[in-house]
Structure 1
Amino acid sequence: MTARQRPRRKRIHLAAQVPGVDNTSRPWIEFASFEHLARTAERGLFDFLLLADGLRPREHEGRIDGVDVVGRPEPLTVLGALAAVTDRLGLAATVDATFNEPYELARRLATLDHLSGGRAGWNVVTSSDAFTGENFRRGGHPDRSERFSRAAEFVAVARELWDSWTPDGVSRPFAHRGRHFDIAGEFTVPRPPQGHPVVLQAGDSEEGRESAAATADVMFTRHGTLEDGRAFYADVKKRLEKYGRTPDDLRIMPAVTVVLGATVAEARERAAGIRRQQISPQQALRTLERIWGVDLSSYDPDGPLPEIDPVPEPAIAQGRPRHGDSVAVAEKWRALSKEKGLSIRQTVIEAGCGRPSFIGTPEAVAAELDACVRRDAADGFVLVPHLTPGGLDEFVDRVVPLLQERGAFRTEYEGATLRSHLGLSGPAGKG
């Protein structure tokens, strides 16, 4: 095979997420913290920085969860400020499609895309729990299918609004009449520099996979291991064809954590220490309650797991997502607890409920990340630092140079827009 015939090496896409809820984070209201993370991500040549969000503090049995982050500012406002202190880094906001309206949000996203020179992204989410609706006149908590249906139409309407201006600056009236929205008028903001801001979406469910294949530019997932990742990657990518899209039209990027050490043993010890800090006795019980679906406050976190089975329709959850098949998870955790003689807290620490982790030396982590992308388990990764705002620095300083040496990551930005960083030719469905 000649050099001209040899396929181009698949490169890694990297992004960073600012946690919206994280018991190791300090109050999220100081701009200096956001600026530090953004500058570090841009120094590391990341595709984008994602701000997570929630429209109400997490609650548990009618009380605000004591481990929830305090002070959660509106993300698009923060990204507007970050646009002024960064030059190339993509700026993505998590914005709820259940309790917002298309015209208002499309206008704000188009404005950010103009102010940043084409670097805006929108992580589309639906309300995750019944508590949130109480903050809004609409109230209540639509069922899952209704939330997905509204979100899909919401994205479609936003794209109609962005397309209502021609590329050469001519405004045209718009009109949309659908199940959830009935609006008509004229959009106030010219067509965004990217055509459409990049649309991001998370979800491992059947509905989430299908929705991402139809409408998303970037998809988040929890599948970070090689074999699980390859199966998920292949499944989602093959769904694109039915929507007239190619595998290169969607980037799949698992959210992961990274813990480094001079040796593997040191990295593992650091990771264990981080988990111990993150999972307090109180947090361990609440994690278990989200699986079992009942009040477990009378249980000793240093004692054994409950012998009772999880309930199928827990009132305690009020719409909050559970950790997959609760019965299967409970059985798995009981087996782990019995095998290693672990208490409730030790089991939660050992098993975890969060995102995949890459733990090891910088060289080992760089090799593992590269292997996952080269073997089609992912197109890249969204790093979620366990400490803020300095939790990204070590990865940028110690792992990024190794990825560059391997030819697995860019050595400079090759474009100015988020869409160009991701290697996307146009908005989803536009080619």
Structure 2
Amino acid sequence: MTRKRVHLAAHFPGVNNTTVWTDPRAGSQIDFASFAHLARTAERGGFDFFFLAEGLRLRELKGRIHDLDVVGRPESLTVLSALAAVTDRLGLAGTVNATFNEPYELARRLATLDHLSQGRAAWNVVTTSDAFTGENFRRGGFLDRADRYRRAAEFVRLSRELWDSWQPDAVVADPETGRFVREGGIGDVAHHGEHFSIEGRFTVPRSPQGHPVIIQAGDSDEGREFAASTADVIFSRHGTPADGRAFYSDVKRRLARYGRRPRELKIMPAATFALGDTEEEAAENAAAIRRQQVGPQTAIAFLEQVWGRDMSAYDPDGPFPDVEPDLSEDLSQGRVPFGDRAAVAAKWRALAQEKDLTIRELVIEVTGRQTFVGTPQSVARQIDEHVQAGAADGFILVPHLIPGGLDEFVERVVPVLRERGAVRTGYTGTTLREHLFDDESESEPS
């Protein structure tokens, strides 16, 4: 029986209401100092990588930009390239859309980041069929779910062809001059597929880790299959032990059909946390954070997304309204849909009635819960037990404050995890691929 090492990553949030921008301790979401602070904190904690999301269009509710969306977030790969200069070992992961980019151009940008960082680059591959977002692009949002995953799979395959086209250089003697020269390296790329047709040569030499680490976040059946065939890391949303174990087992089982072993894919759910000196204090802190994350405006906005009606006349801290949803209307654009809105509305109404919840209390109940709550010792234990039980390989932590929201975790929880032998005490490799898949990723229990 081997003991699994816990992998940790840090997410710089801002595309939803997880981040509390109204807190006096909150900083800028565009000042480079904010990105540098969080990245350096993660590196001090021995985290595998720093993760940036992407927002290609500001989300709207009832035709207006939602006030809690971040306006002015910089482009991810540009920020990560700058962070390569102020970090040494931390992986640098950026979300870049495979629907609205081209393989040759993006492969060059990612290979460049991998060179600048000496092998620490990662690409979180996402797709979209959202015509609202597509209005910002020539192509538009014309791809349905199946087509966008086929395009993404071909996009990644072609990117790897480009990255792999540079073979290791060989130093040989020129037969005419006798001087030693470099020979080989650049190779031709000829790709003719359903979505892309390229004939040419890649301009960037092979990067330190061969090619960037691939991250994927889809949860549909197509997304899970794409991850099993292609990804190195899954950014999962299954944070509870039961859901985590089911997802973990399902995806790991799919790897065999692609000739892959379970340890070749790391599953890392998003996770939040609230700490305290006692369990009671931690619970109080968690409740306070949830109320900050779900203010009155946000509570009404969530309700309107499901109900399809203007609910602004209702008191968010008053009784849950006795009004039927309008399923013909969708007041929100650019947000992840709730799926079967009729089923969601019925579930929310039943929960509100069962627990006698106000609108805001209900939205807190269904959207604002922290993953790990407790003292540093109990949070470290929860994280470690979650991984050892086969529910995850680690977690991508999403702090509620920027830039200092990760500080307390690194200062108080990481030392306990190290005492348990759950996380690394120092980096043993230089590339992100080594962080994730080195020989010390699993060790015998002490």
So what's the TM-score if we normalise by structure 2?
0.89
Partner of 1:340: 355
7, 13, 24: which one aligns with 2:7: 13
Range with greater deviation from structure 2 (231-240 or 174-183): 174-183
Answer yes or no: is the 8 Å Cα contact 1:134–1:140 preserved in 2.
yes
**1:363–1:133 distance in 2 versus 1, CA, 3 Å:** same
Q: Does residue 1:401 correspond to 2:421, yes or no?
A: no
Moved over 6 A (4+): none
Partner of 1:115: 116
Counterpart amino acid of 2:62? E
**1:262–1:208 distance in 2 versus 1, CA, 3 Å:** same
Q: Does residue 1:175 correspond to 2:160, yes or no?
A: no
- Three-state SS of the structure 2 residue aligned to 1:70 is coil
| Deviations 1:333-352 (CA, angstroms, capped at 9, x unpaired) | 22221122111111101221
In percent, how many aligned pairs have the same letter? Answer: 66
**1:202–1:309 distance in 2 versus 1, CA, 3 Å:** farther
Answer yes or no: is the 8 Å Cα contact 2:294–2:368 preserved in 1.
no
Residues 7-406 of structure 1: pairs in structure 2 closer than 5 A: 7-23=1-17, 24-25=20-21, 26-127=27-128, 129-168=130-169, 170-308=185-323, 310=325, 314-318=329-333, 320-352=335-367, 357-406=371-420
Distance, in Å, in 2 between the alignment partners of 1:175 and 1:314 is: 47
**Structure 1, gaps ≥5 residues long:** 1-6, 426-431
**TM-fit CA distance, 1:143:** 2.2
**TM-fit CA distance, 1:57:** 1.4
Counterpart amino acid of 1:326? R
- Three-state SS of the structure 1 residue aligned to 2:131 is coil
Distance, in Å, in 1 between the alignment partners of 2:149 and 2:3 is: 36
Counterpart amino acid of 1:323? F
Partner of 1:421: 435
Range with greater deviation from structure 2 (290-299 or 119-128): 290-299
Counterpart amino acid of 1:274? I
Distance, in Å, in 1 between the alignment partners of 2:294 and 2:189 is: 50
Distance, in Å, in 2 between the alignment partners of 1:227 and 1:317 is: 31
**TM-fit CA distance, 1:314:** 4.6
Count residues with an aligned counterpart.
418
Counterpart amino acid of 2:69? D
Counterpart amino acid of 2:3? R
Answer yes or no: is the 8 Å Cα contact 1:254–1:382 preserved in 2.
yes
**TM-fit CA distance, 1:148:** 1.8
Distance, in Å, in 2 between the alignment partners of 1:298 and 1:128 is: 33
**Structure 2, gaps ≥5 residues long:** 22-26, 170-183, 440-446
Answer yes or no: is the 8 Å Cα contact 1:201–1:218 preserved in 2.
yes
Counterpart amino acid of 1:367? R
Distance, in Å, in 1 between the alignment partners of 2:192 and 2:127 is: 21
Distance, in Å, in 2 between the alignment partners of 1:131 and 1:400 is: 41
**1:357–1:173 distance in 2 versus 1, CA, 3 Å:** same
Answer yes or no: is the 8 Å Cα contact 1:16–1:382 preserved in 2.
yes
Distance, in Å, in 1 between the alignment partners of 2:328 and 2:148 is: 19
Distance, in Å, in 1 between the alignment partners of 2:190 and 2:86 is: 37
Answer yes or no: is the 8 Å Cα contact 1:128–1:320 preserved in 2.
no
Distance, in Å, in 2 between the alignment partners of 1:321 and 1:311 is: 18
Partner of 1:429: none
Answer yes or no: is the 8 Å Cα contact 1:20–1:53 preserved in 2.
no
**1:12–1:245 distance in 2 versus 1, CA, 3 Å:** same
Range with greater deviation from structure 2 (226-235 or 323-332): 323-332
Counterpart amino acid of 2:65? I
Range with greater deviation from structure 2 (201-210 or 102-111): 201-210
Distance, in Å, in 1 between the alignment partners of 2:328 and 2:221 is: 20
Counterpart amino acid of 1:362? P
Counterpart amino acid of 1:345? R
Counterpart amino acid of 1:30? D
Range with greater deviation from structure 2 (359-368 or 144-153): 144-153
So what's the TM-score if we normalise by structure 1?
0.92
**1:308–1:150 distance in 2 versus 1, CA, 3 Å:** farther
- Three-state SS of the structure 2 residue aligned to 1:107 is helix
**1:27–1:65 distance in 2 versus 1, CA, 3 Å:** farther
Answer yes or no: is the 8 Å Cα contact 2:119–2:207 preserved in 1.
yes
**TM-fit CA distance, 1:89:** 0.3
